[in-house]
Amino acid sequence: MTELAGQGGAVPLFATPFAAVNTGAARHFNARLVSLCESQRSASGLDFLDSADATAVELKRLILGQASTVVAGLNSISAAEFAKLHVQARGWCSIVQQTGHVPAQHFPNASWLAVYCAQAGEPDAGSRSAGVLRLYERRLGSMYRDASTSELKSPYRYGNHTWTPVPGWMALFPAHVPHEVSVVRSSTPLILVFAMIRFE
């Protein structure tokens, strides 16, 4: 809880962190990852990040390393204390074909969600909202909006947010935030790896 007594001025009370990270993964790594996701398409219920495959092992190291760096930077605990935390992750591949999508979801049993892009098709010039990761603003359903709140400056602005997946890039945000992947228009499938992450 943040103590506000004695503080003047406006402060953001419910800021939600979101990070877009260029992991630096090479094109040939993403090609191997795409092949692995396609080969495991029918392996429902299995933890993709628990695979002994070298590509999956490297992806897990990449995701957890980047996530740990971001989350450590957001925390007020010391680097030494943060390093003592044990990180856990469970992941799966989503292959989103043309006209397909990932319906709205959220994960209350994890603290963070990473979304890594292995493959993305060409953007749709006629629909900039196609094939994007959309994060939903929970407060919109319980607030009154008028001229004074519709154009607030960041970080006070209300509204949904979108991120366009790019191969080798990863999005990271709190797992409780509702999100979806909008309808893909490209003939090239959008291939994402989702990872639920916990620090204990």
Spatial distance between the Cα atoms of 47 and 50, rounded to a whole number of angstroms: 5
For the ranges 33-37, 65-69, 146-150, which has the lowest average pLDDT?
146-150
Per-residue pLDDT at 157 exceeds 90:
no
pLDDT at 5: 63
Sign of the dihedral defined by the CA atoms of residues 46, 51, 56, 61, in that order:
positive
Please give the pLDDT value at position 6: 66
Give the pLDDT band of residue 10 (cuts 50, 70, 90): confident
Mean per-residue pLDDT, 13-23? 93
Q: What is the pLDDT of residue 2?
A: 66
| pLDDT greater than 90 at residue 161 | yes
CA 85, CA 176: separation in Å to the nearest integer?
21
Stated pTM of the model: 0.92
pLDDT one-digit tens code per residue, 111-152 = 999 999 999 988 777 777 899 999 998 877 778 888 888 888
Over residues 74-103, the mean pLDDT reads 96
Are 191 and 121 in contact by the 8 Å Cβ rule? The answer is no
How confident is the model at residue 129, as a pLDDT? 82
- The proportion of the chain whose per-residue pLDDT surpasses 70, expressed as a percent, equals 96
Average pLDDT over residues 178-186: 95
Compute the mean pLDDT over every residue in the chain, rounded to the nearest whole number.
92
Angle between helices 54-74 and 27-39 (to 10 degrees): 110
**Is residue 169 over pLDDT 90?**
yes
